[in-house]
Each structure stands twice: as C-alpha cells, then as structure tokens.
Structure 1
C-alpha cells in the first residue's frame, strides 16, 4: 500500500511538472507572436521611433523567470547545499582537532 501511495505522489509531481512546461511553451509561443506583431507595427508605422523593445524587454524578463521555474533551472541545487554543509562540518571538525 505504501509503495502504491509513493508511486501516485511521483506521478502527480511529474504530471504537474509537465503542465508547467506546457504552460511555459504556450507563454513562449504567445510572446513570439505578439512581439513579432509589435515589431511589424513599429517598423511599418513609426520607424523613426523604435519602441517595440520596451515591451519585448519587460515581457522577456518575465518569460525568462517563467522558463527558469518551469524547466527547473537552479544555480545552486539541493545537492550542492548538502555537499557544502558536509564540507563545512568536516573543516570545522579538522580545525577543532588542530587545537586539542
């Protein structure tokens, strides 16, 4: 019974992750379409004043963070944290033994 419950939890987490990635790709597609349209409008009707890069930049920053979250990109993973904690604990133990 316990094994079945764990399997179900893993399935639900995977399902949620796939949903997040799918939402990110939908967001990316929408971004590309809308920004392309804004570039077209800007260059067609007011090429002397380029303004399309402001919405492109603002929305792009939001899209970047959405992508980092959806694709589970982390700069310092839990594994890294655990290794660093163990390293500091070992260093502290070595330094403590030096003075005894």
Structure 2
C-alpha cells in the first residue's frame, strides 16, 4: 500500500513540475509575440523615439526570474532551497521550545 502512495506522490510532483514548465513556455511565447508586436508598432509609427525596449526589459527580467525558479538555475530560487529552509526554521523552533521546557 505504501508503494502505491509513494508512486502517487511522485506522479503528483511530476504533474506539478510539468505544469510549471508549461507555464514558463506559455509566458515565453507570450513575451515573444507581444514584444514583436510592440517593436513593430514602435518602429512603424514612432521610429524617432524608441520605447519598445522598456517593456522588453521589464518583462524580460520577470521571465528570467521565472526561468530561475522553474529550471532551478540559481539554488535559492528553487523548491529544494525552500524545503530545506522550512525544515531548518522548524528545527530551530523546536530547539528553542526544548530550551525552555
């Protein structure tokens, strides 16, 4: 019975991971389409004043951080770091409780 439960948990974790990756790629496609459209509008109607790079930069930074979290590129953005930090804080709290008992 425990094996089935572990297998189900692994399946749910994999399903969640696929959903996160799919969300990132959806964001990436939206970024490419919208920024391309904004670039076209800018260059066609106001080529003397370039402004398309501001939304490209802002959204691009957000997309970069999204990639860091989804693909665990930087350790402190990933799920492993969060779980380790939660366990660490819980252990510290337990030690503090034990001190005063």
| Residue equivalent to 1:28 | 28
Q: Over the residues paired in the alignment, what is the CA RMSD in angstroms? A: 1.7
State the distance in 1 between where 2:69 and 2:75 align.
Answer: 11
| Residue equivalent to 1:10 | 10
| Residue equivalent to 2:54 | 54
Q: CA deviation at 1:48?
A: 0.6
Q: What SS does structure 2 have at the residue aligned with 1:7?
A: helix
Q: CA deviation at 1:36?
A: 0.3
TM-score, normalised to structure 1, is: 0.72
Q: CA deviation at 1:6?
A: 0.8
Report how many residues are paired. Answer: 79
Q: CA deviation at 1:67?
A: 1.3
Structure possessing the higher radius of gyration over alpha carbons: 1
Q: CA deviation at 1:3?
A: 1.2
| Residue equivalent to 1:67 | 67
State the distance in 2 between where 1:17 and 1:73 align.
Answer: 15
**Alignment gaps of 5+ in structure 2:** 85-101
Greater relative contact order (CA < 8 Å, ≥ 6 in sequence)? 1
TM-score, normalised to structure 2, is: 0.72
Matches within 5 A, 1:81-96: none
**Alignment gaps of 5+ in structure 1:** 82-100
Task: Flag as ranges the 4+ runs of structure 1 deviating above 4 A.
Answer: none
| Residue equivalent to 2:91 | none
